[in-house]
């Protein structure tokens, strides 16, 4: 029995091979098959049909067909193929138009290849193809994301100079950028300018403004924007609710966040995985594990299945609150649902076992990672090193530090701070000097906690005094003047 895919290919081949009596009909049929494949995101197969259309002679693609395939390549993130197709157009009779150039410019901007996008923009202008507001919006979005304010201002002036007036998308890009830069006041000014010019802000504009207020902790203003959106009818969607819920959660306003969750249901909006993950995470962080577990059950009852991130959030909360047996039970439930546990999940469990001082169990789980096809990252190694130090197994911790480097996982500043503190807390100060020297040589610094411990050892003459200039080199002058006086008064004959 022939599959729909085989039937599609068979029908197309017959169409391309037969002698055409009606070129328009043949072209329309080819284009239909071509679009069908692109809609199914089968871009490579669509490109194959495109090439057959050219080779067949009777179904020559026009600028729309070219533009459609360019868009398909861009949607797949294959900018190089899209650009090659544009160059192919230049060689033939069907030249690239504004749509083709704008599609490639937009894709390059989304991939932060703004310089390349600007080069294509200049090329397009040199060929006499005038940009429109869509072209400018793509470029503005690209330069604003990179914080290139002067270039953004130049583009705005350029478009107005060409009598291309900003639309709601243009203003929304500016509002979003100002908000992400913490400039909510300026974003509000842009919204006011829109209204003055009879350009109605849309859902994206208001959501960006609301997010800007949330980032600044101005939750009352964020709430007012949300109420304004509600007053405009069907403007509020799940994304808008998630923005405000996230803001409430970030500022530990859990009652308001939970109230908004209930309001969503009343308004016929279905909370999604983002909604529940945000709330579960926040409940865990404020120590409301019971509420987190209740939300976890509620989401499943509502048909919203937890993903790996949901399990990671709840497992982390349980482990940090020393509920390791419940965490292990939850982990087994996750395995039973055939969800692939990644290194993040295992790192959380290893940390939980270390917090519960089940160091041997943590070691066993760590050693099993390779058999599970997982590679420990710097966080996994550091947590295991910390666990070994907690268990007094400093020699094993030092071996693991060496092992991680040998396996291509470079220790970071956190790793060195953890192992140095571990040795100090286990009264094994002989190795500390060497570890500090390693840390400094690699360009890392001791944090406040580690510095305090080292200064205390220097005062008590428990480590090599040669550490003193090393610490000065790392700019700990705030701690050192008093330290020098203490050492001078304790050992007056040494100077």
Q: pLDDT tens digits, residue range 412-435?
A: 999 999 999 999 999 888 888 889
3 pLDDT band (50/70/90 cuts)?
A: very low
Question: Given a cut of 60, is residue 280 above it in pLDDT?
Answer: yes
What digits encode the pLDDT tens for the residues 212-260? 999 999 999 999 999 999 998 878 999 999 999 999 999 999 999 999 9
Residue 392 lies in a domain: yes
93 pLDDT band (50/70/90 cuts)?
A: confident
Question: Given a cut of 80, is residue 20 above it in pLDDT?
Answer: no
Residue 389 lies in a domain: yes
Percent of the chain with pLDDT over 70: 81
Number of residues that make up the chain: 495
What digits encode the pLDDT tens for the residues 49-61? 566 666 555 566 7
Average the pLDDT over each of 196-200, 385-389, 457-461 and give the range with the smallest value: 457-461
For every residue of 66-84, DSSP letters joined together read HHHHHHHHHHTT-HHHHHH
The secondary structure element, H or E, covering residue 257 is: helix 254-266
Question: Given a cut of 60, is residue 464 above it in pLDDT?
Answer: yes
Written as six digits, the tokens of 314 are 């709840």
Q: Rounded to a whole number, what is the distance in angstroms from the first to the last CA of the chain?
A: 96
Q: What are phi and psi of 46, to 5 degrees?
A: -65, -40
Question: Given a cut of 80, is residue 14 above it in pLDDT?
Answer: no
Question: Given a cut of 70, is residue 33 above it in pLDDT?
Answer: no
Question: Given a cut of 60, is residue 337 above it in pLDDT?
Answer: yes
Residue 426 lies in a domain: yes
Whether the Cβ atoms of residue 99 and residue 85 lie closer than 8 Å to each other: no
Whether the Cβ atoms of residue 369 and residue 346 lie closer than 8 Å to each other: yes
What digits encode the pLDDT tens for the residues 110-163? 999 999 999 999 999 999 999 999 999 999 999 998 888 888 889 989 998 999
What digits encode the pLDDT tens for the residues 351-369? 999 999 999 999 999 999 9
> What average pLDDT score do residues 326-348 get?
94
Residue 396 lies in a domain: yes
Expressed as residue numbers, the domain containing 390 is: 376-469
> What average pLDDT score do residues 317-336 get?
94
Question: Given a cut of 90, is residue 34 above it in pLDDT?
Answer: no
- pTM confidence score: 0.77
* Euclidean distance between CA atoms 336 and 470, whole angstroms: 53
481 pLDDT band (50/70/90 cuts)?
A: very low
* Euclidean distance between CA atoms 88 and 478, whole angstroms: 65
Q: In sequence order, which residues have a C-beta less than 8 Å from that of residue 370 and are 6 or more positions away?
A: none
Residue 17: the pLDDT is 44
Residue 415 lies in a domain: yes
Question: Given a cut of 50, is residue 65 above it in pLDDT?
Answer: yes
* Euclidean distance between CA atoms 324 and 354, whole angstroms: 10
Question: Given a cut of 70, is residue 9 above it in pLDDT?
Answer: no
Residue 158 lies in a domain: no
Question: Given a cut of 60, is residue 13 above it in pLDDT?
Answer: no
Residue 419 lies in a domain: yes
Question: Given a cut of 50, is residue 476 above it in pLDDT?
Answer: no
> What average pLDDT score do residues 91-105 get?
90
DSSP assigned state of 321? T
Report CA Rg, the chain. 31
* Euclidean distance between CA atoms 354 and 362, whole angstroms: 6
Residue 489: the pLDDT is 33
Strands (E), 234-359: none
Average the pLDDT over each of 66-80, 113-127, 245-259, 379-393 and give the range with the smallest value: 66-80
31 pLDDT band (50/70/90 cuts)?
A: low
Question: Given a cut of 80, is residue 178 above it in pLDDT?
Answer: yes
Q: Which residue has the tokens 């169409």?
A: 15
Residue 319: the pLDDT is 95
* Euclidean distance between CA atoms 381 and 397, whole angstroms: 9
For every residue of 144-206, DSSP letters joined together read HHTT-HHHHHHHHHHHHHTT----HHHHHHHHHHHHHTT-HHHHHHHHHHHHHTT----HHHH
* Euclidean distance between CA atoms 146 and 115, whole angstroms: 11
Q: How many domains does the structure of the chain reveal?
A: 1
- Among 239, 238, 171, residue whose Cα is nearest residue 200: 171
For every residue of 268-281, DSSP letters joined together read T----HHHHHHHHH
Residue 171 lies in a domain: no
Instruction: Please provide the average confidence, as pLDDT, over all residues in the chain.
Output: 84
Written as six digits, the tokens of 422 are 């571990």
Q: Which residue has the tokens 């039970």?
A: 329
Question: Given a cut of 70, is residue 45 above it in pLDDT?
Answer: no
46 pLDDT band (50/70/90 cuts)?
A: low
10 pLDDT band (50/70/90 cuts)?
A: very low
309 pLDDT band (50/70/90 cuts)?
A: very high
Residue 477: the pLDDT is 42
Question: CB burial class (10 A; 0-12, 13-18, 19+) of residue 127?
Answer: exposed
């Amino acid at each position: 029995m022939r599959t729909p895919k085989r039937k599609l290919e068979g029908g197309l081949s017959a169409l391309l091979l037969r002698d055409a009596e009606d070129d328009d009909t043949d072209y329309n049929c080819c284009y239909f098959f071509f679009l069908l494949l692109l809609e199914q995101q089968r871009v490579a197969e669509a490109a194959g049909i495109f090439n057959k259309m050219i080779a067949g002679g009777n179904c020559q693609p026009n600028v729309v067909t070219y533009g459609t395939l360019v868009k398909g390549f861009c949607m797949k993130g294959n900018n190089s193929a899209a650009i090659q197709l544009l160059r192919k157009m230049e060689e033939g009779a069907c030249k690239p138009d504004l749509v083709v150039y704008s599609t490639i410019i937009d894709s390059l901007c989304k991939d932060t290849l703004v310089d390349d996008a600007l080069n294509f923009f200049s090329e397009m202008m040199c060929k006499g193809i005038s940009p429109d507001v869509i072209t400018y919006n793509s470029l503005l979005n690209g330069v604003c994301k990179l914080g290139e304010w002067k270039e953004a201002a130049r583009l705005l002036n350029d478009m107005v100079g060409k009598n291309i007036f900003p639309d709601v998308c243009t203003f929304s890009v500016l509002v979003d950028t100002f908000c992400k830069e913490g400039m909510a006041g300026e974003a509000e000014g842009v919204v006011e300018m829109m209204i003055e010019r009879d350009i109605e802000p849309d859902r994206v504009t208001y959501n960006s403004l609301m997010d800007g207020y949330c980032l600044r902790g101005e939750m009352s203003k964020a709430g007012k924007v949300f109420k304004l959106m509600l007053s405009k009818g069907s403007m509020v969607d799940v994304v808008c609710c998630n923005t405000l819920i996230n803001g409430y959660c970030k500022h530990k306003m859990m009652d308001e966040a939970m109230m908004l969750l209930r309001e969503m249901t009343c308004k016929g909006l279905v909370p999604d995985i983002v909604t529940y993950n945000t709330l579960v995470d926040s409940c865990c962080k404020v120590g409301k594990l019971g509420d987190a577990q209740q939300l976890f059950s509620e989401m499943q009852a509502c048909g919203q299945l937890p993903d790996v991130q949901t399990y990671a959030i709840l497992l982390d909360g349980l482990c940090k609150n020393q509920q390791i047996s419940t965490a292990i039970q939850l982990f087994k439930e996750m395995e039973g649902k055939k969800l692939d546990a990644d290194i993040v999940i295992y790192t959380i469990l290893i940390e939980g076992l270390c917090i519960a001082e089940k160091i041997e169990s943590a070691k066993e789980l760590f050693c099993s990672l390779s058999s599970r096809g997982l590679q420990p990252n710097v966080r996994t190694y550091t947590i295991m090193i910390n666990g070994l130090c907690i268990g007094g197994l400093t020699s094993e911790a030092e071996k693991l530090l060496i092992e991680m480097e040998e396996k291509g996982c470079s220790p970071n500043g956190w790793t060195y701070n953890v192992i140095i503190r571990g040795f100090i807390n286990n009264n094994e100060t002989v190795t500390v000097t060497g570890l500090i020297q390693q840390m400094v040589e690699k360009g890392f610094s001791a944090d406040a906690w580690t510095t305090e411990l080292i200064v205390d050892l220097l005062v008590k003459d428990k480590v090599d005094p040669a550490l003193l200039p090393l610490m000065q080199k790392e700019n700990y002058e705030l701690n050192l003047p008093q330290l020098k006086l203490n050492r001078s008064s304790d050992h007056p004959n040494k100077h």
